[in-house]
Chain A
Amino acid sequence: MMRRWFAKRVPPGPLEYSRHGWMKLTLGLSFVFLYAPLLILIVFSFNDSRRNVVWRGFTTKYYEKAWNNDGLIEAFANSLTIAFFSTLVSTVLGAMVALLLWRFRFPLKGAYEGAMTLPIVIPEICMGVAMMAFFSRIGWPSDLFWPLNLGAIIIAHISFSFPFVAVIVRARLANFNPEFEEAAKDLGASEWQFFRDIMIPFMKPGLIAGALLAFTLSLDDFVITFFTSGPDTVTFPVKIYSMVRFSVTPEVNAASTVLITITLVLTTIALWLQNRSGQRIGD
């Protein structure tokens, strides 16, 4: 009793933000606007109604319907394939760029660094139009068989993903103690042994974070994909867009929920991996 009375009399300290009413309100509203739409999307994917407005009871039939929608499944497979290859290449490429920028000094390095990060700041729509113009100019064939028909999209995705990987890995490398390299060489390691035993383990958290980002960037990209996909190649976001143009059915919700789940699971795995290696790396 005494303690509660006493506690009430202490005004909030300058850094005790959680004890200010306005802060609590802002926090609460942020959560509502962030997560309420997602929750509604998920809840209504189980709605037993053709129109997605009123709750009419629980059903999983739209998941079944989505599963049996060949177009949707094909788009989904395309998206995962594109994301896989794009992530693989942009992680390797991004890591190499980061190493180059960290390790070497060369003329016009600043210009190169700036130009390399351009895709991060260029509006996606411009990038998409540019990609489309580029591929039609060089006469990229649009009638190849799967998965080569995804080539143009994969190349486009790599070109806007790898700068993100490079930036993340570069930030990680900024903390690298050059004496690690000297110590490794001093102990008898060759250039390659040093790279394999010291450098890659050190970069690993950055590589995982970068790969994760590249994967999600590729998986949900709409604009650039829209401009670079041929008439017969449809990705998941593009497919959803075309379905929504007719009507927003719970099938769209169901498909989106599956995508959210996959993204969440992958993120959790990546974070877990990163955390584990992060502990080992000593930060």
Chain B
Amino acid sequence: MNESRPVIEIRNVTKRFGHVVAVDDNSLTIREGEFFALLGPSGCGKTTLLRMLAGLEVPSGGQILIDGEDMEGVAPNHRPINMVFQSYAVFPHMTVFQNVGYGLKVTGTPASAIRSEVMAALRQVQLEDYHDRMPDQLSGGQKQRVALARALVKKPKVLLLDEPLSALDAKLREAMQLELVKLQHSVGITFVIVTHDQDEALSMADRIAVINNGRIEQVAEPRNIYEYPSNRFVADFIDKMNVFDARAGDSSEGIGIEAPGVGTFTVPSRTDVQAERISAVAIRPEKTRLYPDRPHAPLFSVQARIVNIAYHGRETAVFVETGRGTELSCTVQNASRMQALPQIGDSCWIGWDPEDVLLLE
């Protein structure tokens, strides 16, 4: 997939609304056949970026190329792109069939061709039996399938999805995540999805762009986004993270870390970071462990006291405070019913493998 050619090229695109900069000088390439996610907190500019691809917003600066063609001045109805809207925007006065066929009808496709193509699209989303229903007779999930079929029937170069799963309940959302990925594989169209839900992005996308304050912070595969966030924002935004201030310096065994609230330890040297520029280090809660007694090296460990416990069923989040006043969290998998739960006030050791520590500038 890495070798496939770019289908969307965003070059130094900026969007200003009055004095507010919604999208700030971003460049990004999305490749053909990719499932790409724009991930960020609400108001970060990810939807604005998507709407600029659809032609619903005009960039204040920069260039957007779709399939090699400059999209400047090209109206939404003339772009080789279709969109699934957050509200689905299924036309309420048309049947499912009419909704799905609308995009073909307005561009002058003959009725006989519309019929077969609409039914094929409805088959793809498993809604064939609903073709003569009115939208108010459909559930939220079914409306979304109509919106999907309506966009896919146009055979776009790129399908844009604006928070497609946010209105669905948790169970349905999980099922739809898998189904969207399956659908994308079968139709082979590039999908660009906007979401604020990192779990959604991590589980579905081939690549993710994490956006904050109108700027793309990192573009990478899900695993790299999670395991190797490139900066403090990404580290903190994606799932839970223990971040603490630290100073670092080169030593003979690697990079020596001195974290005032935690302790000192050494991590293997890396070529991508300069020790002097490190201002903080981070460790994922599930990569830390609790011990009743001091564990042996090579683990780093520090003595702590349990200050809070949040039971989540599948796992328990345990919050501890080190002797020097830094709060850390540790996720304990509830792998067995017989497992003893820690108690607030217990003293313990929290430890981790220095290999798992992230170095942040």
Given the known inter-chain contacts A188-B103, A198-B91, please indicate yes or no for A282 contacting B134, CB distance below 8 A.
yes
Distance, CA A283 to CA B136, complexed state (A): 8
Distance in angstroms from A37 CB to nearest chain B CB is 41
| Stretch with Cβ within 8 A of B (4 or more), from A9-17, A177-185, A221-229 | A177-185
Is A186 engaged at the interface, CB distance under 8 Å to the other chain? yes
Residues of B near A202 (CB, < 8 A) are: 92-93
Is A230 engaged at the interface, CB distance under 8 Å to the other chain? no
| Stretch with Cβ within 8 A of B (4 or more), from A26-34, A156-164, A189-197, A237-245 | A189-197
Given the known inter-chain contacts A179-B87, A182-B89, A202-B93, please indicate yes or no for A190 contacting B106, CB distance below 8 A.
yes
Q: Interface size of A by Cβ–Cβ distance < 8 Å?
A: 22
Is B75 engaged at the interface, CB distance under 8 Å to the other chain? yes
15 example contacts (A-B, Cβ-Cβ < 8 A) are as follows: A177-B87, A179-B86, A182-B76, A183-B91, A184-B91, A187-B103, A188-B154, A189-B102, A189-B106, A190-B106, A197-B102, A201-B93, A202-B93, A277-B93, A282-B134
Which B residues are within 8 Å of any A CB, using their own CB?
Answer: 54, 56, 75-78, 81-83, 85-87, 89, 91-93, 102-103, 106-107, 134-136, 147, 150-151, 154
Given the known inter-chain contacts A177-B89, A280-B93, please indicate yes or no for A188 contacting B77, CB distance below 8 A.
yes
Is A269 engaged at the interface, CB distance under 8 Å to the other chain? no
Distance in angstroms from A190 CB to nearest chain B CB is 6
Residues of A near B56 (CB, < 8 A) are: 182, 185-186
Contact between A183 and B83, CB atoms less than 8 A apart:
yes
The 10 closest A-B pairs by CB, nearest first: A187-B103, A282-B92, A183-B89, A179-B89, A282-B136, A201-B93, A189-B106, A179-B85, A185-B76, A188-B107
Which residue from chain A places its CB closest to the CB of B79 in the assembled complex?
A186
Distance in angstroms from B167 CB to nearest chain A CB is 13
Contact between A186 and B92, CB atoms less than 8 A apart:
no
Contact between A187 and B134, CB atoms less than 8 A apart:
no
Residues of A near B135 (CB, < 8 A) are: 282
Is A266 engaged at the interface, CB distance under 8 Å to the other chain? no
Contact between B154 and A187, CB atoms less than 8 A apart:
yes
Contact between B77 and A189, CB atoms less than 8 A apart:
yes
Residues of B near A193 (CB, < 8 A) are: 106
Is A120 engaged at the interface, CB distance under 8 Å to the other chain? no
Which A residues are within 8 Å of any B CB, using their own CB?
Answer: 177, 179-180, 182-190, 193, 197-198, 201-202, 277, 280-283
Residues of B near A277 (CB, < 8 A) are: 93
Beyond A179-B86, A188-B106, A190-B77, 9 extra complex contacts between A and B, CB < 8 Å: A186-B54, A187-B103, A187-B106, A187-B154, A188-B154, A189-B102, A189-B103, A282-B93, A282-B135
Distance, CA A193 to CA B76, complexed state (A): 14
Residues of B near A180 (CB, < 8 A) are: 89, 91
Distance, CA A189 to CA B76, complexed state (A): 9
Residues of A near B103 (CB, < 8 A) are: 187-189
Residues of B near A280 (CB, < 8 A) are: 93, 134
Distance, CA A180 to CA B311, complexed state (A): 44
Which residue from chain B places its CB closest to the CB of A198 in the assembled complex?
B91
Contact between A185 and B77, CB atoms less than 8 A apart:
yes
Distance, CA A109 to CA B159, complexed state (A): 38
Distance, CA A240 to CA B87, complexed state (A): 55
Contact between A184 and B134, CB atoms less than 8 A apart:
no
Contact between B102 and A187, CB atoms less than 8 A apart:
yes
Distance, CA A201 to CA B102, complexed state (A): 14
Distance, CA A111 to CA B86, complexed state (A): 35
Distance, CA A280 to CA B92, complexed state (A): 7
Distance in angstroms from A99 CB to nearest chain B CB is 18
Distance in angstroms from B98 CB to nearest chain A CB is 9
Residues of B near A187 (CB, < 8 A) are: 77, 82, 102-103, 106, 150-151, 154
